[in-house]
Structure formats: C-alpha cells, structure tokens
Amino acid sequence: MYREFYGLKEKPFSKTPDPRYLFLSRGHREALARLQYAVEERELALLTGDIGCGKTTISRALMDAMGEECRFCFIVNPRLTPLEFLRAVARSIGVESPAVAKDELLKQLGEAVLVLRAEGRCPVIVIDEAQLIPDRELFDEIRLLTNFQLDDQNLMSVVLMGQPELRQILADPVHEPLRQRIAMHYHLQPLTLEETLEYIDFRLEVAGGVPGLFSPDAVRRIYDLSGGVPRKINILATNALLVGFGRDASWIDASLVEELREEASLY
C-alpha cells in the first residue's frame, strides 16, 4: 500500500518497540545513559514517563547496549503475587523448575545468580508498568532482590518502569525502604517541536525513505495534536500517510493532518 507509494521498505511508524527506531532525543539519550550506568553498577533504577513516551523501547535498547554481559528478565505484567513474581524471575535467569516453597525458591535464585556471576554476567530485572503492582508485599520482594550481593558488589540490577503515578505510589511512607535503594531516577518528557520534526524524518530514513515527506506545517499540526508523545505521533503519521496515499499526494501537508483532528481526540 502506502509503503511502495512513498518508497518505504518498512512501516516507519510501527507501534512495536524496535530499538532501530529509537530516536535519541536529549531526554531519551540521557535516560538510556543513566540506565546503562545503573546496570553497570548493579543498582536499582526508576524510569517514569507518560504513556507512549518510549520507556519500553529504551529498555530494549538498553538490552542491546549491554550485550552478553547481562541476562535480562522482562516482567511486562506485574499484576502477580510475590511468589508468582519470584518464580518468573527465577525462570528467566535459568532456574528450570522454580520451587513452590519460598525458602527453596530463594535458594534457587541465589544459586542461579552466582552461576551467572561466575560466567561474568549480571541478571537485570526490568519491571514494566510497575504502577500496576498490586500491593506493598510485591514491592518488598523487589527491594529484597537487591540483597543479592557480595561485600564489594551487588549481583543484580533492577529497573522499575512506569507511568508518572508510580512516583506517587512510591512516595508513600511505607515504601521508604525501597525508595532509599533507588540509585537512579529519571522522568522521560515528550518531544519538543524541533525533536518531533527530527523524529519523523529519522523514522522515515530508517524505513528506507527520505526526509521531508511531511511539510513543516504538517509536523507542527502533528505536534499540536500529539503533545510530542511518540506513540501518538506514530498513529497520526501513519494515518496521514494512509490519507495521502488515498489522495495520490506526493507529500503530507497540514491539511491532510488536520483531517485527523477528530481521530486524534480518541488517542
């Protein structure tokens, strides 16, 4: 469809968190650098941002950046009991048959962590949508994971990612012990207007196209309607390409984007 019409090899504004399409705005670059440092130091890190700002894509880029020296465990749905959570972590770091009894499970976790250390690798537990964690007990288990350590070094890194309300949740005094262990905090902001222009051109080029397919006025309308949130930009840009294809439009101008105003209110 529109890919061939606009000379694209791939869909430039796909929703999947492909690290190739990670546009390193100033904020994204700093977030990734801070996470890399936290993982290198085996620390607990907190990354927050509005829905669609690119947190998950950054976590995939982090995995690529760290390479074989880390073993990543992604918890994408943290609505788990503490035991379910620990078993998921154990399985992801090499425990073939996680125990049901908690004391045995913790022993298995400790052994698996030491095996990874002997291999020169660090387990990294990434908990996405952490604002959905159901209760204090699971937050306590996350905190206790940081107890896997030697005298001179932690043996595991944990990354908590979530929407802004996660910070409000963690501000509760009951979570003070966990907050004190968070070594890196970062809040990811939406893109600026200039970054939105660069973002759109960047993704077009990665997809095999050429920059400048969207006029400056079209980009401004996309920015106004999306608030600079990458996921919303992707939806608007994709729909604009579809409209443009249907009109045989060789480039996307502001009038085409304006037609999406009503749809944008649903995002």
Q: Is 242 exposed, middle or buried (0-12, 13-18, 19+ CB in 10 A)?
A: middle
The β-bridge relationship of strands 122-127 and 70-75 is parallel
pLDDT of 74 higher than 60: yes
Tokens of 23: 């546009």
163 neighbors 48 (Cβ within 8 angstroms) = yes
Q: Report pLDDT for 17.
A: 79
Q: Return the DSSP state at 6.
A: T
Burial class (CB in 10 A: 0-12, 13-18, 19+), 157: buried
Q: How far is CA 172 from CA 80, 135, 181, in A?
A: 21, 12, 15
Q: Name the DSSP letter for residue 149.
A: B
Maximum pairwise Cα distance, the chain: 67
Please name the residue that has the structure tokens 């019409």: 5
Mean of the per-residue pLDDT values of the chain: 92
Instruction: Report which residue type is found at 163.
Output: Q
Type of residue numbered 140? D
193 or 1, greater pLDDT:
193
Query: H-helix or E-strand containing 161?
Result: strand 157-162
Q: What percent of the chain has pLDDT over 70?
A: 97
Structural domains in the chain, CATH included, are 2-16+191-264 (1.10.8), 26-188 (3.40.50.300)
Q: What is the pLDDT at residue 90?
A: 96
How far apart are the C-alpha atoms of 230 and 259, rounded to whole Å?
20
Which residue is listed with tokens 């030491």?
Answer: 114
Question: Is residue 266 predicted with pLDDT exceeding 60?
Answer: no
CA angle 144/30/221 to nearest 5° reads: 120
Mean pLDDT (whole number) for 154-179: 95
pLDDT at 265 exceeding the cut of 70: no
Q: Which helix (H) or strand (E) holds 144?
A: helix 136-145
pLDDT, one tens digit per residue, over 116-165 is 999 999 999 999 999 999 989 999 999 988 888 775 678 899 999 999 99
Q: Which of 11-25, 71-85, 182-196, 206-220 has the lowest mean pLDDT?
A: 11-25
